[in-house]
Amino acid sequence: MHVTLRTSVSQPPAVVMAGFTRELFVALAPPFPRLRLLRFDGCHTGDRVEIELDTLVKRLSWTSLIVDDGVQPDGTHFFVDEGQVLPPPLRFWRHRHLIQPGPRGGSVIVDALEYRTASRLLDALIYPAMWAQFAWRRPIYRRWFR
């Protein structure tokens, strides 16, 4: 299943890319499930991010590895994280972060997600929650990168 959200911000791509820090990662966390950041190496190939999700019933581990990063010829900065240890019901996770040049020197932050569970039906059932988790980021990005 694919989810893509786009957010326009006023800072240029290089500044936005440099702003993807531990502090921003924590600020982007939705209110539920609660997130505890255990490790944040950065956003470059080989870096790891480890979190614990507190669902009030159980604590779940999530580890992602940054598998690619760089700058495309059109000036788009990017990095890609893939899930290594995922909470149920997820079985596959790839999140492409694109920071595209936007109008008047700004940027467009693109969150392009791909995820899978054990069934297409479950993929579709959790789509609204996935969309909401990333839509939550839009006003935070706008405040962070004004």
For residue range 70-99, list pLDDT tens digits in order: 999 999 999 999 999 999 999 999 999 999
pTM for this model (two decimals): 0.94
In the chain, beta strands by DSSP E: 2-9, 34-40, 48-54, 59-71, 77-85, 92-101, 107-116
Boundaries of every domain in the chain: 2-29+70-144
Exposed, middle or buried: residue 140 (CB in 10 Å: 0-12, 13-18, 19+)? middle
pLDDT at 121 over 90: yes
**pLDDT tier, 120 (very low <50, low <70, confident <90, very high otherwise):** very high
What gap in Å lies between CA 29 and CA 50, rounded to an integer?
A: 13
Considering only CA atoms, which of 110, 112, 77, 79 is closest in space to residue 9?
110
Fold of 2-29+70-144: TATA-Binding Protein (3.30.310)
Q: Which residue has the tokens 């939550």?
A: 136
- The predicted model gives 1-30 an average pLDDT of 97
Is residue 106 within 8 Å of 8, Cβ to Cβ?
yes
What gap in Å lies between CA 42 and CA 3, rounded to an integer?
A: 23
Amino acid type, 130:
M
